[in-house]
């Protein structure tokens, strides 16, 4: 990490998915420093239990704090669904109440405003996110009367983590899951990609869904919600370093992470392997 990168914004995901969020955040807020952490060695999180996702996420947050981050974004729906509230309410007060951890579910639900005509929303997410009911609970709070149908796609993250996203096996699973969702509720006119890995399959999902269905992808939403957050919280914003640098950490080998991450970031990056515990 560069010497001047004293207080980067931490971005955490189980693997490569959070890069789809980081790319949009950097596009909107290029002046800040960013430290990305992908727990690739233990991905996917989507099929893991509540306790394990919470424990792994807390380890990642502590790691990012120890490297100077005062603000961490859980760029992972599964971690946001299963660990965010406990970390905010139980852990932060003892670790350091002046630090912040934010998630991606609330801003995504806020962005639904005005998008649906039928009031029928579809959700593609990991089994853990769908089972947690986090999206349903947020939607009920903000838009009573909207109907949410969740569909878990357990194969999508492994396809991406194993570099199969652009091969025919991915077409098969994307079609299978989009058909299942649209059969479950044919009145759906808006679909949330509720996993940060899924934008990597965007073109296949777009092709497989009826053209009239809106797709809500999280990168730009989370970026503008972060910009808004920083404007409303100058006490946090003033602690962030601004050299426009990014660094990348992974729990897998850097030799496998860096080339894949360079593809997703559309620019060459280097990374460092670390161990979380
Ligand atoms: N990208 C993450 C999410 O948004 C996690 C995927 C996984 O590890 O299963 O849910």
User: Which domain CATH number covers 144?
Assistant: 3.40.50.1860
Pocket of ligand 1 (CB under 6 A): 13-15, 17, 43-46, 76-78, 126, 129, 157, 195-197
Q: Identify whether residues 125 and 63 lie together within a single domain.
A: no
Q: Is residue 3 part of a domain?
A: no
Is 4 among the domain residues?
Answer: no
Q: How many domains are contained in the chain?
A: 2
pLDDT at 3 over 50: no
Residue ending a domain, among 185, 200, 218, is 218
Segment 198-203 shows an average pLDDT of 96
Which of 218, 240, 259 delimits the end of a domain?
218
Residues 41 and 30 in one domain: yes
One domain for residues 163 and 229:
no
Question: pLDDT digit string (tens) for 213-245?
Answer: 999 999 999 999 999 999 999 999 999 999 999
Q: Do the domain assignments include residue 15? A: yes
Mean pLDDT of the residues in the chain: 96
- The pair of structure tokens assigned to 196 is 């940060």
**pTM score:** 0.95
Check whether 272 has a pLDDT greater than 80: yes
Alpha-carbon span 28 to 26, nearest angstrom: 5
195 classed as catalytic: yes
**Which residue out of 196, 251, 260 has the highest number of ligand 1 atoms within 8 Å of its CB and is therefore the one to mutate?**
196
Residue 181 lies in a domain: yes
Please check whether residues 186 and 224 belong to one and the same domain: no
- Identify whether 44 is preceded by a cis peptide bond (ω within 30 of 0): yes
User: pLDDT digit string (tens) for 67-122?
Assistant: 999 999 999 999 999 999 999 999 999 999 999 999 999 999 999 999 999 999 99
Closest Cα to atom 2 of ligand 1: 76
Check residue 4 and give its pLDDT: 64
Active site residue 69: no
Task: Identify whether residues 71 and 34 lie together within a single domain.
Answer: yes
Best residue among 195, 221, 260, 264 to mutate for probing ligand 1, ranked by most atoms within 8 Å of CB = 195
Nearest CA to ligand 1 atom 9: 46
Atom of ligand 1 nearest to the CA of 75: 4
Residue 264 — pLDDT band, cuts 50, 70, 90? confident
- Which member of 37, 76, 102, 269 is catalytic? 76
Q: Which domain holds residue 17?
A: 9-103+220-273
Ligand 1 atom with minimal separation from the 195 CA? 4
Nearest to 54 by CA among 38, 76, 31: 76
Same domain (yes/no): 225, 97: yes
> Edge-to-edge, what's the strand order for the sheet holding 34-38?
100-102, 71-74, 9-13, 34-38, 246-250, 272-273
- Say if residue 191 is in the same domain as residue 204: yes
């Amino acid at each position: 990490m560069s010497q001047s990168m004293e207080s980067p914004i931490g971005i955490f995901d189980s693997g490569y998915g959070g890069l789809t969020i980081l790319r949009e955040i950097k596009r909107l807020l290029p002046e800040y420093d960013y430290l990305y952490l992908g727990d690739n060695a233990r991905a996917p999180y989507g099929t893991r239990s509540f306790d394990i996702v919470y424990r792994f996420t807390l380890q990642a947050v502590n790691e990012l704090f120890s490297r100077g981050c005062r603000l961490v974004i859980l760029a992972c729906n599964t971690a946001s669904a299963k660990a965010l509230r406990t970390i905010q309410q139980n852990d932060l007060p003892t670790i350091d109440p002046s630090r912040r951890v934010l998630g991606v579910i609330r801003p995504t639900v806020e962005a639904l405003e005005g998008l649906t005509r039928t009031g029928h929303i579809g959700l593609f997410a990991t089994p853990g996110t769908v089972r947690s009911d986090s999206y349903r609970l947020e939607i009920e709070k903000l838009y009573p009367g909207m109907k949410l149908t969740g569909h878990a796609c357990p194969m999508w993250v492994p396809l991406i983590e194993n570099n199969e996203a652009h091969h025919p096996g991915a077409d098969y699973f994307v079609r299978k899951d989009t058909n299942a969702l649209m059969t479950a509720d044919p009145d759906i006119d808006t679909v949330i990609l509720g996993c940060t890995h899924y934008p990597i399959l965007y073109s296949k999902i777009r092709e497989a869904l009826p053209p009239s269905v809106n797709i809500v992808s999280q990168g730009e939403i989370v970026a503008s919600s972060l910009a808004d957050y920083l404007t409303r919280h100058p006490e946090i914003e003033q602690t962030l370093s601004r050299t426009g640098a990014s660094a990348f950490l992974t729990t897998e080998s850097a030799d496998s992470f860096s080339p894949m991450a360079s593809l997703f970031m559309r620019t060459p990056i280097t990374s460092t392997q670390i161990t979380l515990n």
